[in-house]
Structure 1
Amino acid sequence: MRSLLYIIAVILIIGWILGAFVYSVGGLIHILLVIAIISLILGFLRRDTAL
């Protein structure tokens, strides 16, 4: 489950970077960034309990 969160976070961060520099989508870029950060935080928090 942890690796899935990292994969989702990386995909969302890449999408955010592409959206920020290639497309002018507006608020969608920031939503992608927030979702990626939340998934990374959840991954770090769940890593401690998975051991």
Structure 2
Amino acid sequence: MRDPTDSVGPHREQLTGDEAHERVRAMLAETVDTELWHASGCCRRRRPPR
């Protein structure tokens, strides 16, 4: 059983540079099916409009 004094909500972080990049990658790895995301084509480079 969880201790009712434990915080389970979001907490604020302020990161920059490589540390921020790695944190985002870790969050995505925990929550996103990256194979499906890439297969959907959402990450393909799009040509700028002419």
TM bucket, shorter chain: 0.3 to 0.5
Q: Which has the higher helix share?
A: 1
TM-score with structure 1 length normalisation?
Answer: 0.33
Q: Greater CA radius of gyration, 1 or 2?
A: 2
TM-score with structure 2 length normalisation?
Answer: 0.34
